[in-house]
Structure 1
Amino acid sequence: MVTRRGFLKAGGLTLFGIGIGGVPSFMARAASSSKIMAPYRKNKVLVCIFQRGAMDGLMAVTPFTDIYLKAARPTLFMSAAKEKADKPLIDLDGRFGLHPSLQVFESLFHEKQLAIVHGMGSPNTTRSHFDAQDYMESGTPFNKNTPSGWLNRAVGLLGHEATPFQAVSVTSSLPRSLYGNHAALAIKDLKDFTVQLKGNPAGASVAAKSFEELYDQTSSSLLKETSKESFDAVKMLQLADVRNYTPANGASYPNSPLGNSLKQIAQLIKMDVGLEVAFAESGGWDTHFNQGTYNGMFARNVTDLSNSIIAFWRDIEMYQDDITVMTMTEFGRTVKQNGTGGTDHGRASCSFILGNNVQGGKVHGTVNPLAIENLEDGRDLAVTTDFRSIFSEVASIHLKLENKNTLFPDWHGNTIGVMKA
């Protein structure tokens, strides 16, 4: 039985794919006797996608009837009128329109599997990417000294024994949201899953060393903390042929960091290794210049985002009742376009939430008319929904967590009804 005891504590071991080398042969032989325990099967899984760089929510989901937005964005505003645009916005409800590059989301929205929360963001008014991401991932927007991330605290509230794969980030390093005392893995690539000593100067040449040599390099105190049970994760993956994985239902993942991350998360779900919290990233959302409309930087980003998510959703069709996907971004963009065809750091943006247990087919939240008197600082879409009200509701209902005060300390706000009770 695999326990959480001491797995990946601070200063311990980071397991990830380094692109070279592989799992030592003796680990493969040992894996033949390893089995996944039945209690870990059919877990509820929360998949979080962080859009780093601050997505322009007003372009992703546009209040296209707003005359103030049209005036503020003379070259960036997009119409939903089919006779006025080669690629019009996709009219969702007569007021909001999806960017045409998010077309694959249209059916999910109308089938009520996809919900959108608009006007979401942080109560902290910083426009620093670093600070805003840190606050959102720690879940404490007015405290820089919080040692843990909100997803790590969610793992702690699950309250049961788990495999080493309970919380996995398919990234090169552990994100801030998974920092903390509870087990979490950062895996860059399942195909090259191996071992690195975190903070060890010899880490750069880790692939050239045997498992036994690596283990000998760990400090005696670390050995007491982690023990060789920490490497059961490697044994588990060795049981699966991850190199020859074929997605189900003809799902076609983009060959992008996000597409590859979600593809690997799908593999972990199907392998029944005990995954309950998964994390992936999407970059490139800082559209200061040449943002574009139906072509350009923004269109490429939302195409990758939506195509990656729809491929994942099709791939895990048999598991959809147990999966919820939620996107997040540190803040939005200015209502008014700048002089270089882009938008600058703003305040509120929007979030996409996908699952069979969401109140889908609706744009939740409040977006007031974008007249200057309704804008934050006279320039930004106002934050009308605290990100914690979304994250708390999604995580608590989907993962069946009870102590919301532990999940988000110092927050006592209301949920918004984006999930079915």
Structure 2
Amino acid sequence: MTAIKEKTIAVKVRKDFPILHQKIHGKPLIYLDSAATSQKPVAVLDALRNYYEQDNSNVHRGAHTLSVRATEAYEGARDKIAKLINAASRQEIIFTRNATEAINLVAYSWGLNNLKPGDEIITSVMEHHSNIVPWQIIAKKTGAVIKYVQLTADETFDLEHFKSLLSDKTKLVTIVHISNTLGCLNPVNEVIKLAHKSGIKVLIDACQSVPHTLIDVQAMGCDWLVASGHKMCGPSGIGFLYGKKAILEEMPPFLGGGEMINEVFFDGFTCGELPHKFEAGTPAIGEAIALGAAVDYLMGIGMDNIHAYEEELTAYLFKKLGEIPNLRIYGPKPTEDGKGRAALAAFNIEGIHGSDLSTLLDHEGFAIRSGHHCTQPLHRLFNASGSCRVSLYFYNTREEIDAFIVALKDTIDFFTNMME
């Protein structure tokens, strides 16, 4: 079964990713940093190039052929994203520069206008800085209070602690779906149901879930969901916000200017309809079109197929990492068949600094991440300045994991011998 999936997914698609076929320091590149950014298939590169070579024009503002073609492709990408996450309406998809901007849009448009002194925002200690800092800014401006859900003993989202934080003062819950450091899959469905019982709004950071598993926002029931294109085989500089139509209609515009208006007068203006109300100025047209091509590519493989294959890779990765002594992995262990966490592992090795480890591995052709992964508060809880992280995607193979483990063991031995 594994061999069949590997043949039909990883081996089959690798030809679509030109960047993977190169050498780094004379060694074949093995890319293990997809949680930071994914690589781009030819279909995405072609879509971006085709726009600039054939259709380059502004959208919505011209009757000529190039503008019509650009507008159709741009709005077509919105339709594709709506279908990918099963939004009820294309008007619920707002293009942003990235997930960070999408969270800031909600923070400044909804948060600044709805939160009052003493109101409470619940988030968690595992959040990316993008889902902490905007709310700290808004809390300071409004007098709201932020409360953080702690971790369980196995370093997952503590649902019982979350329940204890809920009160009549809670106005917003904003949490990550899958942690980019712990790899845990948070119980977002239950969190949303509990919050909605008390009329509390919920925002989900889905940067690490949309690229890897099937997302259904209607079944999930969240009020907002954000994701970044560059983590899902799309280009950088493009992301999206999903929001329930009724909520988006009530929110004031985030930015003012061209495109988001209906009419402008000397003494005021009226907003355009959704989704344009939140898309001021000339958008990242080519990037949005290329993101649409990325969605086509992912859906062509099948999100269920990607998820199932990554579960197998996860099980294998953790089995091999388990062979290495003094290696501390953050977050929960997966089941034997790879369920229960994402295909990534953040770890530290006793006595070896993560940046030193990643630098030597780079000289062997391995691209892994080292640092705090934009989760400094979480690392402080672990008394760690940072960690190494290896993260997989559907274009990775077991053979790459095997090669990584060999190189990791050799690198550890090198440092161990130096210290003796």
Normalised TM-score (structure 2): 0.22
Normalised TM-score (structure 1): 0.22
Instruction: Specify which structure has the higher proportion of helix.
Output: 2
